Amino acid sequence: MTPEIVTKISAYIWALDYGSVLVFALTGALVASRQQLDIIGFIFMAALTAVGGGTVRDLVLGRDPVFWVAQPELVVIAAGAAFVVYWTAHLLESRYRWLLWLDAIALGVAVPAGVGVAMAGDFGPVIIIIAGVITGTMGGLIRDVVGNEVPLILKGSELYLTCAFGGAVIALMLAWLGLPRPVALIGGGFATFLLRAGTLIWGWSLPVYKPRPPRTRG
Amino acid sequence: MTPEIVTKISAYIWALDYGSVLVFALTGALVASRQQLDIIGFIFMAALTAVGGGTVRDLVLGRDPVFWVAQPELVVIAAGAAFVVYWTAHLLESRYRWLLWLDAIALGVAVPAGVGVAMAGDFGPVIIIIAGVITGTMGGLIRDVVGNEVPLILKGSELYLTCAFGGAVIALMLAWLGLPRPVALIGGGFATFLLRAGTLIWGWSLPVYKPRPPRTRG
Amino acid sequence: MTPEIVTKISAYIWALDYGSVLVFALTGALVASRQQLDIIGFIFMAALTAVGGGTVRDLVLGRDPVFWVAQPELVVIAAGAAFVVYWTAHLLESRYRWLLWLDAIALGVAVPAGVGVAMAGDFGPVIIIIAGVITGTMGGLIRDVVGNEVPLILKGSELYLTCAFGGAVIALMLAWLGLPRPVALIGGGFATFLLRAGTLIWGWSLPVYKPRPPRTRG
- Compare CB distances from A205 to B38, B73, B90 and report the shortest one's residue: B38
pLDDT of A92 strictly over 50: yes
Q: How far is CA C11 from the centre of its chain?
A: 19
pLDDT digits (tens, 9 = 90+) for C14-47: 888 889 999 999 999 999 888 888 888 899 999 9
Taking CA atoms, what residue in B is nearest to A124? Answer: B72
pLDDT of A179 strictly over 80: yes
pLDDT of B100 strictly over 60: yes
Nearest-angstrom CA–CA distance, A185 and A167 = 9
- Looking at CA atoms only, how far is residue A146 from chain B in angstroms? 11
- What does the pLDDT average to over A161-184? 94
Q: Is C81 exposed, middle or buried (CB count within 10 Å of its CB: 0-12, 13-18, 19+)? A: buried
Kindly report the average pLDDT of chain B as a whole number: 85
- What does the pLDDT average to over A120-127? 92
Domain boundaries, chain C: 3-202
Helix, strand, coil abundance in chain A, percent, nearest 5: 75, 0, 25
pLDDT at C153: 76
- What does the pLDDT average to over A2-26? 76
pLDDT at C208: 67
Chains contacting A (3 or more CB pairs within 8 Å): B, C
**ipTM of model:** 0.85
pLDDT of C121 strictly over 70: yes
**Residue A53 in contact with partner chain C when CB distance is under 8 A:** no
**Residue C159 in contact with partner chain A when CB distance is under 8 A:** yes
Q: Is C218 exposed, middle or buried (CB count within 10 Å of its CB: 0-12, 13-18, 19+)? A: exposed
Cβ separation C153–A38 shorter than 8 A: no
**Which chain B residues are Cβ-neighbours of A137 within 8 angstroms?**
44
Higher-scoring residue by pLDDT: B182, C157: B182
pLDDT digits (tens, 9 = 90+) for B43-55: 999 999 999 999 9
Using CA atoms, how far residue A47 sits from A44, A81, B116, in Å, is: 5, 9, 37
Alpha helices in A71-180 (DSSP H): 73-88, 95-120, 125-146, 160-176
pLDDT of B163 strictly over 60: yes
Burial C110-149 (b: 16+ CB within 10 A, else e): bbbbbbbbbbbbebebbbbbbbbbbbbbbbbbbbbbbbee
Nearest-angstrom CA–CA distance, A191 and A171 = 8
- Compare CB distances from A65 to C62, C161, C206 and report the shortest one's residue: C62
**Which chain A residues are Cβ-neighbours of C209 within 8 angstroms?**
32-33, 36-38, 42, 86, 89
Residue B197 CB neighbour total at 10 angstroms: 16
pLDDT band for position A215 (cuts 50, 70, 90)? very low
pLDDT of B213 strictly over 60: no
Helix (H) or strand (E) holding C118: helix C95-120
- What does the pLDDT average to over C157-183? 90
pLDDT digits (tens, 9 = 90+) for C68-108: 998 999 999 999 999 999 998 877 777 778 888 898 999 99
- What does the pLDDT average to over B18-46? 90
- What does the pLDDT average to over C135-144? 90
pLDDT at A8: 60
Cβ separation A69–C59 shorter than 8 A: no
- Looking at CA atoms only, how far is residue B88 from chain C in angstroms? 31
- Compare CB distances from B124 to C40, C64, C72 and report the shortest one's residue: C72
pLDDT of B215 strictly over 70: no
**Residue C72 in contact with partner chain A when CB distance is under 8 A:** no
Cβ separation C33–B211 shorter than 8 A: yes
Alpha helices in chain B (DSSP H): 3-7, 11-34, 39-61, 67-70, 73-88, 95-120, 125-146, 160-176, 181-202
Q: Chain C neighbours among A 89-128 (CB < 8 Å)?
A: 89-90
Nearest-angstrom CA–CA distance, B174 and B180 = 9
pLDDT digits (tens, 9 = 90+) for A15-51: 888 899 999 999 999 998 888 888 888 999 999 999 9
Helix, strand, coil abundance in chain C, percent, nearest 5: 75, 0, 25
**Which chain B residues are Cβ-neighbours of C142 within 8 angstroms?**
none
